[in-house]
A and B are shown apart, each in its own frame.
Chain A
Amino acid sequence: MNSNSLVSINDISRDEILDLIERARFFEEHPNHKILDGKVVATLFFEPSTRTRLSFETAVNRLGGRVIGFSDASTSSSSKGESLKDTIMMVSNYVDLIVMRHYLEGAARYATEVTDTPVINAGDGANQHPSQTMLDLYSISKTQGTLNDLTITMVGDLKYGRTVHSLLMAMQYFNPTFHFVACPELQMPKEYKEFCDLHGIKYYEHTEFSPEVIAASDILYMTRVQRERFSDLMEYEKVKNLYTLRNSMLDVAKDNLRVLHPLPRVNEIDRDVDDNPKAYYFEQARNGLFARQAIICKALGIDVLNLKGDE
């Protein structure tokens, strides 16, 4: 077990979140900092995710490290029936850091228990994806100048969307106000509303994506509504366009409002929003690179803020 591992955003404190944001900002200013010279990082993708893998691999490359790994389980030893433990122990012999994505929930937690090599969870089934949450937090902090006292509106699939759940929990330290906008089938689960109650976090639930809600928001966090989430396809047809953001809807928004989306989007944000300066989802994805550089350095115990002049 290596205590620098990052499995869940819930494992790290307020100070660690703020520290990672500061490091991400550092990497945005100095993206090509060769501090991983001589280090080898494994990216083990038991489940394919090109977007996340490329982001992590770019982060390592820009820091001067090298990458080994596989991009889907069919090419890996696990397809031959090797246990996760054996794969992790084998790879641990070769590398300084493991970045892993797995289709099973809890896989990354288990990996940290079988090796002393630090592990970064790049997604474990429907469970956790902390680097996504960190890039969301970095994007919010960067666009708003703070994480404190913000009004965040979450729209779309609030029931199954793990990004909104993790973001909600990570925001507990920063006195947020939430608006949850979703159809009855995809509302925020009870456990997360109880979490808000327990931590004194204000929240309001809406089934209508109204101008009033948009006007009140600092952040509009859009998510994809997937057809396969509906037991009743008639219901899907009825709601699929109710939670689509159109450019004209942003007329009432505050100047500082930014639209976030974990991507990929389908039709929940109209293309005409892309040119609006409030659209932030492409920069958000780019911020993922800096957030991941920060996470990688933390996992390797490298204090970048005290390294100077070796750029």
Chain B
Amino acid sequence: MNTDKKELAVAALRCGTVIDHIPSSALFKAVKILGIENMDKYVTIGNNLSSHKLGTKGIIKIADVEFPESILNRIALIAPHAKVNIIRDFNVVEKRPIKLPDTIVGIVRCANPKCITNNEPMRTRFTVVNRNDVTIRCDYCGHTVKSDDAIID
């Protein structure tokens, strides 16, 4: 707990959410998924920090916001090892891994140009078919893609 506190205190977050252990290459996709660019909250984004597990990692800290589980879990698409820390009064009150949902609604665009989702004003929906390499399949056209290669809207 102590080291957590020290590390996270860099941005002196009183309350809010810290998402850690995001692969550097996925950091800006994560920013996009969380919709951070449209927030007026105090946000710190760090990237290319050294990490034992990932080599380099990214970290996102957002003040005064606790995201619903459903949004955080979408991060799992691109950062399956990310950890979420909920901060209250400078303390990490909750620390948990992100969980990949069975179904991904919205967010990912189907790569098949002949897919109905690319031709109708509608939301996409994918089912996770392989949790190890995070392969997802379009519920409409059946096209599969590894989430690393997925087009994130």
Contact = CB atoms under 8 A, between A and B. Distances in A.
Are A and B co-members of a single complex? yes
Given A104-B114, A105-B112, A106-B115, A127 B141 contact: yes
B121 A106 contact: no
A105 B120 contact: no
Contacts of B117: 106, 110
A83 B115 contact: no
A84 B142 contact: no
Given A105-B140, A106-B138, A127-B142, A83 B120 contact: yes
Nearest to B144: A191
Contact of B141 (A84, A85, A106): A106
B151 interface: no
Interface string A124-161: 11111000000000000000000000000000000000
Given A83-B120, A85-B120, A109 B139 contact: yes
B22 to A, nearest CB: 31
Interface string A91-110: 00000000000111111011
Contacts of B140: 105-107, 109-110
B38 interface: no
A84 B116 CA distance: 9
B116 A105 contact: yes
A126 B114 contact: yes
A104 B119 contact: yes
A125 B144 CA distance: 16
Nearest to B110: A106
Contacts of A109: 116, 139-140
B114 A110 contact: no
Nearest to A105: B141
A84 B140 CA distance: 14
B122 interface: yes
B121 A110 contact: no
Nearest to A10: B142
Interface residues of A, number: 17
User: Which has the most chain A C-beta neighbours within 10 Å: B119, B121, B138, B143?
Assistant: B119
Interface in A210-258: none
B122 A105 contact: no
A79 to B, nearest CB: 14
Interface string A11-44: 0000000000000000000000000000000000
B121 A107 contact: no
A105 to B, nearest CB: 4
Given A127-B141, A127-B142, A104 B116 contact: yes
A125 B142 CA distance: 12
A124 B121 CA distance: 18
A84 B114 contact: no
A107 B122 contact: no
Contact of B114 (A85, A105, A128): A105
A85 B139 contact: no
B114 to A, nearest CB: 5
A10 B140 CA distance: 13
A257 B39 CA distance: 68
A83 B141 CA distance: 18
Nearest to B141: A105
Contacts of B115: 104-106
Contacts of B139: 106, 109
Contact of A107 (B112, B116, B142, B143): B116
A109 B143 CA distance: 14
Interface in B120-148: 120-122, 138-144
A110 B112 contact: no
Nearest to A128: B142
Given A83-B120, A106-B116, 8 more contacts: A105-B112, A109-B116, A110-B117, A110-B140, A124-B116, A127-B141, A127-B142, A191-B144
10 contacts: A83-B120, A83-B121, A104-B116, A106-B142, A110-B116, A110-B117, A110-B122, A110-B140, A124-B116, A127-B141
